[in-house]
Structure 1
Amino acid sequence: MNEPQLRTLLDGGKYFEAPRWHQGRLWFVDCLARTLLSIGPSGDRTEHATFADDIPCGTGILPDGRLVVLTMFRKRLLAYADGVLSPYADLSGIATGTIDDMIVDGPGRAYVGDLGFNLPPPPERGADGRIILVTPDGEARIVAEGLRFPNGIAVSADHDRLVVAEMDGECLADYEIGSDGSLHFRRRLACGKEPDGICLDRDGAVWVASYGEGAFIRIDRDGRERQRINVPGRRGIACALGGAERRTLFGISAATSPEELRQGRSSARIDIVEVETPGSGYP
């Protein structure tokens, strides 16, 4: 099978993250530029908000259409609507480390990754990562522990399954979601090196942005690789399925390294490609 050819939608950012398809546009953040952005299918780009006091990272969409943006070091969730950012949840009292990625499911429950340590990563870090659940009424509690650098998070359309990429563990942790939002561990699935952002498709397969392999990799329910799209010389950062039929894979990559990233040196890009199986769930 020939590898699908990517087409560049947007180039020249610093470090894009957390793509979410919403209201006919792809919403995402530029972590290093500290901005919330969106882009349409034709490439029209809009800057919506800036974050003067912290670095934005994970995002999610609430049932009422508001966007939620996570800020990493002050450990907050902010809601965005009509050009205004407002407080949504303060996780500084429960998170033990930097918070990173997140997702919001259909009922409005936010699942947030807590690294368990502060960035930059210490050399002797272990399985200290956790997932924090924030319910629509504002309650926050720990629903998963023992994760090795929890990164991208995805939830199935039926709200029965949550998958989180363990960047240090180089695997996907697969959970069953209880009726109260609690998580029950099922298994770990092999995937690419240093998995970052992820999304689900209608077959239950997971598209994984592989930071370590510079690729977007489709992993089926049994942990088998089914498709690979390479971005040579770049890092796979995040991905989302969107477009009118959710068959457009938006792949975010960056030309950088961990050392360069700590110095603020990075060049981000969004590429698109049409895939056979449409997206499903969140994101």
Structure 2
Amino acid sequence: MRISSGTKARLITEGLAFGESPRWHEGRLWVCNWGTGEIMAVDADSNREIMLTVPAVLPYSIDWLPDGRLLVVSGREGLLLRQEADGRLVTHADLRGLSKNPWNEIVVDGRGNAYVNGGGPAPAPREHFGPGTIALITPDGATRQVADNIAFANGMAVTPDNRTLILAESHGNRLTAFDIAADGILSNRRVWADLDGYPDGICLDAEGAVWYADVPNKHCVRVREGGEVLQTVTTDRGCFACMLGGADRQTLFIVAAQWRGFEHMVSDARTGQVLGVEAPAPGVGWPG
């Protein structure tokens, strides 16, 4: 059933700078509050708690290893950090050997493989971003590039069977899929869906659909493989990412903020919000 493009979301919390990399973890929504270095958690009653502050302003993103340890991409520093049981942040992987350009998003699959995107060659003159890449960090600590030539690498998700990685190519107006081999290597690159928009953060649901956030179009969209639009949730500001969570993983959480251009991402403006809307199918796969 297609749901009207007028579907509205309720306000969960506000006053953030730029919310990014939302993750449902241990009964709360975790959010990276770009521009502040904060990683916060929001519960069902809209109570917020700062879980840690990282030595990064933006970009930074999060996910968890299967043993429960938190990973943090420190994008401009080119490091993947790991939080130990005592709270210390240590280097899990050094990505600077693959690229000197900032890294962006992360997803950890069910085998413990971490995929981090961004990096890549230097941007062309007057461009903010060059072609992006995907790096794989395996559980034994090995790091290698597994994809390249990505048109602004953004959100990623892995299917519940650990066999497919789906990537948002924001400047390519598409979702791109890769097969995942047993050793984590990506192959069989293909278009999962051509889009009338600019996908940012994404998540998967149990009916095989993908939700994607879209900053310039100020909405989140649910699509099938092939690009059929199933549902659109409209907002009054740019949507940066989304995540299915809640007790039954059937609430779509959206992080949104007023967009004023890359040069104004770090400022005193606090237009960031977390919004929520009931979804037709629960979340599956990774990130959780």
Shorter-chain TM-score category? over 0.9
CA distance in 2, matches of 1:192, 1:85: 40
* TM-score scaled by length of structure 1: 0.92
Q: Which residue of 2 aligns with 1:35?
A: 38
Contact 1:98/1:117 (CA < 8 Å) preserved in 2? no
Q: Which residue of 2 aligns with 1:231?
A: 235
Q: Which amino acid aligns with 1:195?
A: P
Match for 1:104: what amino acid? V
Deviation of residue 86 (structure 1)?
2.4
Higher relative contact order (CA 8 A, sep 6+): 2
Query: Using a 3 Å threshold, how does the CA distance of structure 1 residues 125 and 16 change in structure 2: closer, same or farther?
Result: closer
Cα deviations across residues 149-195 of structure 1 (Å, max 9, x unaligned)? 11001101110110110111111111111111111134211124221
In 2, Cα distance between equivalents of 1:267 and 1:125: 23
Further displaced range: 253-262 or 215-224: 253-262
1:4 to 4, 7, 13: 7
Give 1:105-184 correspondences, 5 Å limit: 105-117=109-121, 123-124=126-127, 128-184=131-187
Q: Deviations over 1:173-226 (max 9, x none)?
A: 111111111111342111242211000111221100011211000010121111
1:203 aligns with 2:203: no
- 8 A contact 2:59–2:76 mirrored in 1: no
Residue pair 1:37, 1:45 contacting (<8 A) in 2 also: yes
Which residue of the other structure, out of 65, 69, 72, is the alignment partner of 1:66? 69
Aligned-partner Cα distance in 2 for 1:5–1:90: 41
Deviation of the 1:123 alpha carbon: 3.3
Cα drift, residue 263 of structure 1: 5.1
Structure 1 residues 41 and 177, CA gap change in structure 2 (3 angstroms): same
> Counterpart amino acid of 1:58?
S
Q: Tell me how large the CA RMSD over aligned residues is.
A: 2.0
Q: Compute the displacement of 1:77 (Å).
A: 1.1
Deviation at 1:128, TM superposition (A): 2.0
Alpha carbons 1:247, 1:279 under 8 Å: kept: yes
* Letter aligned with residue 135 of structure 2: I
Distance between the aligned counterparts of 2:122 and 2:154, measured in 1? Answer: 14
Match of 2:24 among 18, 21, 24: 21
Out of 75, 78, 81, the residue aligned to residue 75 of structure 1 is 78
1:126 positional shift: 7.8
Counterpart pick for 2:90 among 86, 97, 100:
86
Q: Give the Å deviation of 1:125.
A: 7.1
Unaligned residue ranges in structure 1 (runs of 5+): none
Q: What is the CA-CA distance between 1:14 and the residue it aligns to? A: 0.2
Check conservation: 2:105, 2:154, Cα contact below 8 A: yes
* Correspondence for 2:261 among 258, 267, 280: 258
Q: Output the CA distance in 2 between the equivalents of 1:126 and 1:55.
A: 14
Q: Which residue identity lines up with residue 139 of structure 1 in the other structure?
A: A
Contact 1:98–1:118 (8 Å) recurs in 2: no
- 1:242-257 pair list within 5 angstroms: 242-257=245-260
Amino acid at match of 1:128: P
1:262 deviates by 4.2
Aligned residue type for 2:103: I
Identical amino acids, percent of aligned pairs: 36
Instruction: Find the aligned partners of 1:267 and 1:32 in 2 and give their Cα distance.
Output: 12
- Give the deviation of 1:95 after TM superposition: 2.4
**Matched-pair contact (CA < 8 Å) for 1:192–1:213:** no
- Give secondary structure in 2 for the equivalent of 1:168: helix
2:107 is matched with: 103
